[in-house]
């Protein structure tokens, strides 16, 4: 999920993330887990966070450029 600075859109994304966090906590209480072989999940929380850090810094560079280009292009179009 990305945030592009759209006020109402970001608020909706925040509510969605909060709901997913609660659901994940409820799953955890029932013993549901995601295995270290799935996606960017690793054997330790620390390594998983490092993976998320790599994704958010290196992986989002082009995404940030594209979001900015879309926003600039929209602002340059006549109303």
Q: What is the pLDDT of residues 2-17, one digit of tens each?
A: 776 667 888 888 899 9
Assess if residue 27 is contained within a domain.
yes
CA dihedral 53, 59, 9, 6 (to 10 degrees): 100
Residue 36 lies in a domain: yes
Domain assignment of residue 72, yes or no: yes
The tally of domains found in the chain comes to 1
* Position 2 in a domain: no
pLDDT tens-digit map of 25-79: 999 999 998 899 999 999 999 999 999 999 988 888 888 889 889 889 988 887 6
Q: Is residue 44 part of a domain?
A: yes
Contact 40, 28 (CB under 8 A): no
34 closest CA partner among 47, 26, 19, 24: 24
Whether residue 61 lies inside any domain: the answer is yes
Give the single-character DSSP code of 71: H
pLDDT reported for residue 13: 86
Residue 1 lies in a domain: no
Give the separation between CA 33 and CA 42, rounded to whole angstroms: 12
Domain that holds residue 12: 7-76
């Amino acid at each position: 999920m990305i945030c592009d600075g759209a006020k109402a859109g970001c608020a909706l994304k925040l509510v969605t993330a909060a709901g997913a966090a609660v659901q994940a906590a409820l799953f955890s209480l029932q013993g549901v887990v995601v295995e270290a072989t799935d996606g960017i999940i690793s054997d330790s929380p620390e390594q998983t966070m490092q993976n998320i850090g790599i994704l958010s810094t290196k992986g989002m560079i082009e995404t940030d450029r594209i979001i900015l280009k879309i926003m600039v292009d929209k602002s340059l179009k006549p109303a």
